[in-house]
Amino acid sequence: MAKEQKKTQYATAILNRKARHEYLILDTMVAGIELKGSEVKSVRLGKASLNESYAIIHREEAWLENMQITAYEHNHAEQLDPKRSRKLLLKREEIHKLQSKLQQKGLTLIPLKAFFNKRGVLKIELGLAKGKKLYDKRESIKTRDTERQLHRLKQQY
């Protein structure tokens, strides 16, 4: 008889769904993130949110602000602030490159996705973004709808 293995259901990725609607993504890069205690377990269970979060560069270090990680329910040791600032792990050259780009007017650094790589390490996909105007948002909705309709017509025939 084969042993039944109990498989825990983990979230594969945490997405910032509004990011691509609200911003025009100019460039992307992947960074590590410094977490404390049981925050990794909470993220594995999908109890994290990237909505309304952003990244800043302060004193030549990259920080992720406003990322919500709900406390792990079985942790009794220490209680961490769910929206605390978390350090992003980037190389110095990457930080300098980002800092020079962020000095341009209207550009910001936002997290697009949090995921676990093949080695099981949490990574954050950052996007260098520029805010969309209202008419840009309408146009992107219009193109998305027409593509969806074309796809449906192709499936019918």
pLDDT digit string, tens, across residues 82-140: 788 999 999 999 999 999 999 888 899 999 999 999 888 999 999 999 988 888 888 88
User: Is the pLDDT assigned to residue 50 strictly greater than 90?
Assistant: yes
Q: At 1, is the pLDDT very low, low, confident or very high (cuts 50, 70, 90)?
A: very low
Closest listed residue to residue 111, CA positions, set 92, 86, 75 = 86
Helix (H, G, I), strand (E, B) or coil at 34: coil
Tell me what the pLDDT averaged over the chain comes to: 86
- Tens-digit pLDDT profile for residues 101-113: 998 888 999 999 9
- Distance separating alpha carbons of residues 69 and 23, to the nearest angstrom: 23
**Cα(39)–Cα(36) distance, integer angstroms:** 6
**E-only strand ranges, 13-121:** 13-15, 23-33, 48-49, 54-58, 61-65, 68-69, 86-89, 107-116
Domains and CATH numbers, the chain: 13-132 (2.40.280.10)
Question: φ, ψ for residue 20 (rounded to 5)?
Answer: -75, -20
What does pTM read for this prediction? 0.78
Query: What is the Cα–Cα distance from 30 to 88, expressed in whole angstroms?
Result: 10
pLDDT number for residue 76:
66
Six-digit token string for 45: 């269970």
* Banded pLDDT at 156 (limits 50, 70, 90): confident
Residue 81 pLDDT greater than 80, yes or no = no
Between CA 76 and CA 61 the distance in angstroms is 31
Cα distance between residue 31 and residue 112, in whole Å: 11
**The predicted structure's pLDDT at residue 110:** 95
